[in-house]
């Protein structure tokens, strides 16, 4: 009996140890596990013999101190001691010149001149003849960002003996947009319910919110829009403002401001007015009073995000007014409090027969220079809607008198939800690096949005988040990389996809080069793989209507023409593609002449945008020598086959990463491989009904006939409430 009890006890302890070691991904890239590389561990321990930290009075400096202590305790088993004296050996000195007397030197203050309120320096140097490493900034926010940067160096096993880093963000407003509804559903969310538990707030503040804020701050995100752009007006009532204030108080130590999406018709729906006309005096007073009320609860409230006169949302055009009139109404209300208005340019009207890709430009270009100084117009990366691939939006570079804010989608609405491994840094970079030629060569989208091209002080970038209540936050372990990549590129758009993936893998999984190298390449290839099996050669918006799940290029009965996939591919017996040249919708004319000419000419148009801008004959000879039909088939089959390669690559990682996460990714890749073949077989057979050409020899036959795919139905697909 005694032996049996000992056996059970040993089994329990063993299972507990296994459970403790299991990694469900909840810690994201902030794991701070003990450094396993012996040489690096010894070097860091030698160089970081003593921490000298004198926290400022602000809560952010205290958060920075706590993060540093957490990181060093986990990575190096160090228990830092707070004091302001030098000790033997190299010392780590943290703080601002005001909070830490050791940093009040000409060397430090000179280095911080260009750092602003969020920049920092990390430098191996000497102070008073003593060796030290300093992390210094002008403010607590800068110190916090410097600490996270320093910990990243340790996590990725970098040499810290000769550090000389000076860094500051290129973009002022780096914001994560949550499309979360008050009942906790998440529009286009694929990782569970909203993490905001409105029912329990403000009485119970979930510790999860602190971990969320830490993750945002670690990549430089400094603002959060808490609710869906299809806004419920209740969010700005007292009932919810006290809840918003509780979140704001939680985020404040991490340099994060809260923003709210507001419904333009709120004065009518919750204010008792008969109109929401932006030129009506009562409406103007209502919004000013509402802004005053909001700031009484949240003194550092960031401002409003607005979706108006788009997809059924109310707006100023309801009253015969312009988008500028609507934005300026809210800007005047926020101005005394230094708040901003982010006014979305995602607008299109089924009563306007023009190409949907042209409509935002047509509405906003004439309003250039008519917005108040605290308004920033938020523009999606492409002219249609977060497709797997789009050319950059023509508004970038076309509104020199107006600050523009770039909007990316981190959640994978059109990219297989959270069951497909798609690393989006390459998509983000494709847009950021695109040359608008607004002021000649080198006028990139990044320079438009960071304000440097036109000298705007207001600059911003937004990402629609992929965060939910799933244990790993994002539904797919690798979907975390897209949250990470957005934040890093928001801070510095010049970073490469490769460097960001390298950091994320090392921080999240392992520094083992035999793991990092092949998996990084898999990540870098993944977006192109998904484009190939979904929408190659410039095809777009051929997903299932409403759900945006799976292929449905045949749909032609949606509620309006531009909700139908057939509207976008225009396949017929002659060819396929949307003619946006001068002989078609002439959308190319919205770009600068250099860009227009490249896209206009069938011979110079990049292959990746070919069917976006041209209706091309099925037998057209591509640069590869293939006919268009054979090229399309090749892309679809190559894309599907590439997922098998991803499976094989991941299969070799068994034993190199946590077993729980390995198995999760393995199963998700199996889903992705199955769905990639679904996309391939459905699309190739559908377009074959127009081309009437055979699938070239050597390719396997589709698993099912076309009718099988056309009759598939899906119920309760996540994230489909409304449109964005």
269 is catalytic: no
Catalytic residue among 385, 407, 450, 673: 385
311 is catalytic: yes
Catalytic residue among 180, 413, 528, 664: 413
- The β-bridge relationship of strands 460-464 and 575-576 is unpaired
Among 466, 498, 450, which residue's Cα sits nearest to residue 174? 450
Catalytic residue among 211, 269, 280, 311: 311
The first and second tokens of residue 275, run together, are 């109109």
Query: Cβ contacts of residue 594 below 8 Å, gap of 6+?
Result: 435, 437, 441
Residue 692, phi-psi category: left (phi > 0), alpha (psi -120 to 50), beta (remainder)? left
Query: Cβ contacts of residue 154 below 8 Å, gap of 6+?
Result: 35, 44, 71, 75, 76, 160
385 is catalytic: yes
User: Which residue is it, tokens 């969010």?
Assistant: 235
The number of beta carbons lying within 10 Å of the beta carbon of residue 60 is: 22
The number of beta carbons lying within 10 Å of the beta carbon of residue 178 is: 24
Q: By the 8 A CB rule, do 416 and 409 touch?
A: no
Rounded Cα distance, 501 and 664, in Å = 20
Cα diameter, the chain: 89
Q: By the 8 A CB rule, do 487 and 480 touch?
A: no
Taking CA atoms, 325 is separated from 182, 332, 343, in Å, by 28, 11, 11
The first and second tokens of residue 299, run together, are 């003194």
Q: How far is CA 216 from the centre of its chain?
A: 11
- H or E element that contains 175: strand 173-177
Q: By the 8 A CB rule, do 631 and 618 touch?
A: no
Instruction: Give me the active site residues, please.
Output: 311, 385, 413
């Amino acid at each position: 009996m005694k032996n049996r009890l000992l056996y059970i006890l040993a089994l329990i302890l063993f299972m507990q140890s296994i459970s403790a070691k299991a990694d469900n991904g909840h810690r994201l890239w902030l794991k701070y596990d003990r450094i396993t590389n012996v040489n690096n561990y010894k070097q860091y321990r030698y160089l970081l013999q003593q921490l000298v930290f004198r926290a400022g009075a602000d809560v952010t400096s205290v958060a920075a101190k706590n993060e540093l202590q957490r990181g060093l305790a986990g990575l190096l088993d160090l228990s830092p001691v707070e004091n302001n004296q030098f000790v033997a050996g190299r010392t780590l000195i943290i703080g601002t010149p005001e909070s830490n007397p050791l940093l009040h030197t000409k060397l430090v203050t000179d280095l911080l001149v260009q750092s602003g309120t969020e920049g920092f320096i990390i430098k191996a140097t000497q102070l008073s003849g003593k060796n030290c490493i300093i992390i210094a900034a002008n403010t607590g926010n800068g110190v916090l960002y410097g600490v996270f940067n320093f910990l990243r160096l340790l996590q990725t096993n970098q040499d810290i003996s000769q550090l000389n880093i000076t860094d500051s963000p290129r973009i002022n407003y780096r914001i994560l947009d949550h499309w979360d509804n008050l009942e906790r559903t998440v529009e286009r969310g694929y990782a569970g319910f909203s993490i905001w538990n409105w029912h329990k707030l403000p009485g119970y503040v979930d510790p999860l919110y602190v971990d969320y804020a830490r993750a945002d701050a670690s990549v430089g995100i400094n603002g959060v829009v808490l609710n869906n752009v299809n806004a419920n007006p209740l969010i700005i009532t007292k009932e919810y403002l006290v809840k918003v204030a509780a979140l704001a108080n939680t985020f404040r130590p991490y340099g994060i401001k809260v923003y709210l999406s507001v419904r333009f018709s709120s004065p009518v729906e919750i204010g008792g007015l008969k109109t929401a006309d932006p030129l009506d005096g009562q409406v103007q007073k209502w919004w000013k009073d509402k802004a005053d009320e909001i700031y009484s609860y949240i003194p550092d409230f960031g401002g409003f995000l607005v979706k108006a006169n788009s997809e059924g949302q109310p707006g100023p055009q309801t009253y015969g007014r312009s988008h500028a009139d609507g934005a300026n109404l809210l800007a005047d209300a926020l101005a005394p409090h230094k708040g901003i208005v982010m006014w979305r340019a995602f607008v299109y009207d089924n009563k306007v027969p023009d190409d949907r890709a042209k409509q935002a430009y047509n509405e906003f270009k004439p309003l250039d220079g008519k917005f108040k100084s605290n308004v920033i117009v938020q523009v999606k990366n492409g002219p249609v809607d977060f497709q797997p691939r789009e050319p950059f939006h023509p508004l970038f570079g076309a509104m020199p008198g107006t600050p523009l804010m770039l909007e990316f989608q981190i959640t994978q609405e059109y990219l297989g939800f959270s069951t497909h491994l798609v690393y989006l840094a390459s998509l983000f970079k494709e847009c950021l690096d695109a040359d608008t030629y607004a002021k000649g060569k080198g006028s990139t989208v990044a320079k438009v949005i960071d304000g440097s091209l036109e000298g705007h002080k207001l600059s911003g970038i937004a990402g629609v988040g992929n965060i939910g209540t799933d244990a790993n936050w994002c539904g797919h372990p690798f979907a975390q990389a897209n949250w990470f990549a957005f934040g890093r590129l928001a801070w510095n758009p010049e970073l490469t996809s490769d460097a960001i993936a390298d950091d994320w893998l090392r921080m999240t999984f392992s520094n083992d080069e035999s793991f990092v190298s092949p998996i990084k390449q898999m990540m870098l290839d993944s977006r192109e793989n998904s484009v190939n099996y979904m929408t190659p050669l410039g095809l777009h918006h051929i997903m299932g209507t409403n759900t945006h799940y799976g292929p449905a290029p045949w749909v032609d009965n949606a509620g309006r023409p531009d909700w139908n996939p057939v509207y976008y591919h225009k396949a017929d017996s002659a060819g396929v593609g949307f003619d946006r040249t001068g002989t078609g919708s002439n959308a190319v004319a919205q770009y600068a002449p250099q860009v227009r000419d490249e896209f206009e000419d069938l011979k110079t148009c990049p292959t990746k945008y070919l069917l976006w801008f041209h209706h091309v004959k099925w037998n057209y000879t591509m640069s590869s020598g293939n006919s268009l039909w054979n090229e399309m088939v090749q892309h679809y089959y190559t894309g599907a086959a590439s997922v098998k390669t991803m499976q094989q690559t991941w299969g070799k990682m068994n034993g190199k990463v946590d077993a729980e996460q390995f198995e999760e990714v393995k199963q998700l890749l199996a889903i992705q491989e199955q769905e990639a073949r679904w996309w391939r077989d459905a699309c190739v057979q559908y377009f074959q009904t127009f081309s009437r050409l055979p699938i070239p020899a050597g390719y396997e036959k589709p698993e099912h006939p076309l009718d099988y795919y056309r009759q598939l139905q899906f119920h309760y697909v996540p994230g489909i409430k409304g449109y964005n």
